[in-house]
Amino acid sequence: MAEFTMELNEDQKQVRDWIHGFAADVIRPAAAEWDEREETPWPIIQEAAKVGIYSLDFYAQQFFDPTGLGVPMAMEELFWGDAGIALSIVGTGLAAIGVLANGTEEQIGTWIPQMYGTADDVKVAAFCSSEPDAGSDVGAMRTRAVYDEAKDEWVLNGTKTWATNGGIANVHIVVAVVDPELGTKGHASFIVPPNTPGLSQGQKFHKHGIRASHTAEVVLEDVRVPGACLLGGKEKLDERLARAREKAAAGGERVKNAAMATFEASRPAVGAMAVGTARAAYEVALDYARTRTQFGRPIIDNQGVAFQLADMRTQIDAARLLVWRASWMAVAGKPFTSAEGSMSKLYASEVAKKVTGQAIQILGGNGYTREYPVERMHRDAAIYTIFEGTSEIQRLVIARTISDMPIR
């Protein structure tokens, strides 16, 4: 287990500077164009693949960093460049985490490479959990998976929504109900291979922010997948369901469902994304305050502006520390006894919304125009308090955890 430190080692600093350079030279100059186009930035994803940022090896190196800081460091730098493009680059990672968290070694080795493709033929993947009537309330999920024992196949039916890369993905990871009587404990995750009949894209959403990232519905109509596409395998699923049934009569047990296992592993990473967006807006505001002159002096000489910037920087640093703590705890195998993962996501998300709004205020009328990037950053920041668990849900998770109440 690595000792906790707030100082990056030399290897981490080199990786950070490399990612930052890509974000500054490739992502940021393209940000406004792809935001306006509201299309997946395939050329940028391909550039990321060519230099090695969009690849299984890169994410594996960061994921298995013994300090736990590899992933949050990478996320912060990429999202400092632009949230929409960065989400297009890292969106596949959520599906990959779903496989890593729930899959067998064979499934990990078989399917994760297909999620990324190659530098010459890039692919993306999608994690499909939310539904039109089941967002924060995962217990309301209706997508069903029924086992056809004669053919050793699972048959999936339902509609997923808010799926990053949904419909355009090479591989879809779908969370479905296998035992409705067990609520969220009766869920399982399935791999839907490329070109599987019955899977189609529903409506594509036109969003307030992160517009370069593709978000759409995924419709499943009698989608048949081999038994080997059940993440973790049927034996493991049967054991888990039997254990859940035994505990149900005794008032329940905190058994992780498939979606929650993925979200729990990814929440600090989302916090790091929010930190990157907040930091980008803060830097624009700081530079503007230093150079913008009113009444014969730079506006940073005004206490009202200077104090805002001081608060912005303090909150960003505090958010990063919460993210780093949760990331280190996860890799060190320390339980989130106070929902530290949710804490990091909650605080960083709220900071991103606040800081980007303050940046607009400091830039005044200029901040409200698309000539400056802070209005886009403010639009992008709104998603952090919504996806992968709203701020309200994070507070509920924290409250129930510190009060030792079950999280259903």
Task: List the catalytic residues.
Answer: 388
Degrees, nearest 5: CA angle 117-119-122? 40
Rounded distance between C-alpha atoms, residue 126 and residue 115, angstroms:
9
The dihedral of CA 322, 327, 330, 333: what is its sign? negative
Neighbours of 233 (CB within 10 A): 16
Closest CA to 382 of 345, 408, 356: 356
Question: 270 near 394, Cβ under 8 Å?
Answer: no
β-pair partners for 88: none
Phi, psi angle pair for 4, to nearest 5°? -75, 135
User: How far is the CA of 321 from the CAs of 74, 142, 298, 314, 326, in angstroms?
Assistant: 15, 38, 31, 11, 9
Residue 38 Ramachandran class (φ > 0 left, ψ -120 to 50 alpha, else beta): left
SS3 257: coil
- Alpha-carbon distance 76 to 86, whole Å? 10
Fill in the DSSP letter of residue 368.
G
Packed helices 258-291 and 70-81: angle between N→C axes, nearest 10 degrees: 50
Helix 92-102 and helix 56-63, axial crossing angle in degrees, nearest 10: 60
The helix (H) or strand (E) run that includes residue 39 is: none
Q: Which residues contact 287 (CB under 8 A, 6 or more apart)?
A: none
